[in-house]
């Protein structure tokens, strides 16, 4: 089902604890390690016993039917929700006491399913907000326009354009972010997240609202970002072409629980997944 396969069948090897990571990441600490992660909303176990280990430069996918708890996991990882159970480690650092802001500073950046750009600001300003903790100067340098202000503003400007260039959006720098077409807004969210200098990038349905051509470009760009910035990417996506085309490791979620984990080929052959999710799609296609 995935004709345009961008990943070059990375050999996946078991990590000491049993999870699989790309062979190249075996030597370094996993960027993310969740154990028995869970959250309850009242009596509902929205996510339960979520375990995952992500290698340093791994592209992993999180799939599952609607309401399976995928976005909830992103909200847990960024501490928008506080987990009820379990632990999360970012590069071996416990994330238990971190706030959303700390998580970002520690190296997790995300995009949103329902786009959350600063619509009234320009494209460049949105990226500059991503650079907030990267290129800094204080309030008084800003008010008094000290040399630090001019230097840092110039750096921010150059860096923003560099980042926008990844998606060929530098020419849109002065456009109002809210006026961009839907696909461009999604790309801008990725650029803004990249600007925070993450180690792990969480993409929530990055291809939603994109046409097949744009999706293909997006796949190439995600691979490019991973290679250029040496970061890990965890993505939620319903577009199976994208998921099967670039993810090295896939985790299938249903009713808040992991029902299958493995490489794309394994997932496509997994009877539980086919029954719960992919099988229905294949029948519909046939």
Partner 1 sequence: MRTKKARFITSMVTYGVVIALFIILTVMIDNKSISRTLKGQLIPICSWIVMAVSLNLVVGISGELSLGHAGFMSLGAFSGIVMSGWLLNGFQMEDPSLRLILAILAGGLVAGVVGALIGIPVLRLRGDYLAIVTLAFGEIIKNVMNCVYVAVEGKQLHWGFLTNELPGTLLLNGPMGAVKVKAISTFTAGFLLVMFTLIVVLNLANSRSGRAIMAARDNRIAAESMGIHITKYKMMAFVTAAVLAGMAGALYGLSMATLVPTKFSFNESINVLVFVVLGGIGNIPGSIVSAAALTILPEKLRFLQNYRMLAYAVLLILAMLLSNNPVMKSLLKKLIPWRKKPADGEEAMRA
Binder to partner 1 among 13, 29, 44, 144 (CB under 8 A)?
Answer: 144
Binder to partner 1 among 39, 88, 117, 191 (CB under 8 A)?
Answer: 117
85 membership: H or E segment, kind and range: strand 85-90
Q: How far apart are CA 219 and CA 212, in angstroms?
A: 11
For the CB of residue 142, give the shortest distance to partner 1 in the complex, in Å.
3
Q: Does 132 bind partner 1 (CB under 8 A)?
A: yes
Binder to partner 1 among 28, 87, 171, 228 (CB under 8 A)?
Answer: 171
| String marking each residue 94-113 x if it binds partner 1 according to CB under 8 A | -----xxx--xx---xx-x-
Q: Does 284 bind partner 1 (CB under 8 A)?
A: no
Quick check: 109 and 202 in contact, CB under 8 A? yes
Q: Which stretch in 41-49, 93-101, 249-257, 268-276 sits in contact with partner 1 by CB under 8 A?
A: 93-101
Q: How far apart are CA 37 and CA 49, in angstroms?
A: 5
Residues touching partner 1, count (CB under 8 A): 51
Q: Does 232 bind partner 1 (CB under 8 A)?
A: no
Name which of 168 and 227 has its Cβ closer to partner 1: 168
Q: How far apart are CA 32 and CA 28, in angstroms?
A: 11
96 membership: H or E segment, kind and range: none
Q: Does 137 bind partner 1 (CB under 8 A)?
A: yes
Q: How far apart are CA 85 and CA 60, in angstroms?
A: 23
Q: Side by side, which strands form the sheet with 249-254?
A: 108-110, 200-204, 232-236, 59-63, 249-254, 257-262
| String marking each residue 179-218 x if it binds partner 1 according to CB under 8 A | xxx--x-------xx--x----------------------
Tell me the sheet residues that pair with 39. Answer: 47
For the CB of residue 10, give the shortest distance to partner 1 in the complex, in Å.
29
Q: How far apart are CA 140 and CA 145, in angstroms?
A: 8
For the CB of residue 219, give the shortest distance to partner 1 in the complex, in Å.
21
Q: Does 116 bind partner 1 (CB under 8 A)?
A: yes
For the CB of residue 43, give the shortest distance to partner 1 in the complex, in Å.
26
| String marking each residue 61-80 x if it binds partner 1 according to CB under 8 A | -----------------x-x
Q: How many CB atoms lie within 10 A of CB 152?
A: 18
Quick check: 276 and 259 in contact, CB under 8 A? yes
Name which of 112 and 255 has its Cβ closer to partner 1: 112
Name which of 21 and 235 has its Cβ closer to partner 1: 235
For the CB of residue 196, give the shortest distance to partner 1 in the complex, in Å.
6
Closest CA to 83 of 41, 32, 30: 41
Quick check: 245 and 6 in contact, CB under 8 A? yes
Quick check: 9 and 2 in contact, CB under 8 A? no
Quick check: 60 and 233 in contact, CB under 8 A? yes
Quick check: 25 and 58 in contact, CB under 8 A? yes
Binding site for partner 1 (CB under 8 A): 78, 80, 99-101, 104-105, 109-110, 112, 116-123, 125, 128-130, 132-133, 135-139, 141-145, 149, 152-153, 156, 171-172, 174-177, 179-181, 184, 192-193, 196
């Amino acid at each position: 089902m995935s004709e345009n396969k961008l990943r070059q069948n990375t050999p996946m090897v078991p990590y000491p604890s049993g999870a699989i990571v790309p062979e190249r990441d075996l030597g370094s600490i996993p960027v993310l390690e969740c154990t028995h992660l869970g959250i309850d909303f009242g009596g509902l176990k929205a996510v339960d016993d979520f375990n995952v280990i992500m290698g340093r430069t791994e592209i992993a996918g999180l799939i599952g039917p609607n309401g399976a708890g995928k976005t909830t996991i992103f909200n847990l990882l960024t501490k928008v929700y506080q987990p009820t159970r379990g632990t999360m480690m970012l590069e071996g650092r416990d994330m238990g006491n971190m706030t959303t802001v700390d998580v970002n500073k520690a190296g997790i950046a995300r995009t949103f399913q329902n786009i959350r750009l600063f619509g009234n600001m320009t494209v460049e300003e949105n990226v500059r907000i991503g650079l907030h903790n990267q290129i800094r100067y204080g309030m008084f340098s800003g008010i008094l326009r000290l040399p630090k202000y001019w230097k840092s503003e110039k750096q921010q400007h150059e860096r923003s354009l560099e980042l926008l260039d990844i998606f060929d959006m530098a020419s849109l720098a002065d456009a109002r972010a809210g006026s961009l077409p839907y696909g461009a807004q999604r790309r801008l969210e990725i650029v803004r997240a990249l600007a925070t200098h993450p180690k792990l990038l969480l993409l929530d349905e990055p291809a939603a609202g994109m046409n097949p051509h744009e999706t293909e470009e997006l796949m190439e760009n995600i691979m490019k970002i991973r290679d250029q910035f040496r970061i890990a990417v965890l993505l939620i996506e319903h577009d199976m072409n994208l998921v099967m085309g670039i993810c090295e490791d896939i985790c299938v979620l249903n009713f808040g629980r992991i029902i299958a984990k493995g490489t794309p080929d394994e997932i496509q052959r997994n009877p539980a997944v086919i029954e719960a999710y992919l099988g229905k799609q294949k029948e519909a296609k046939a």
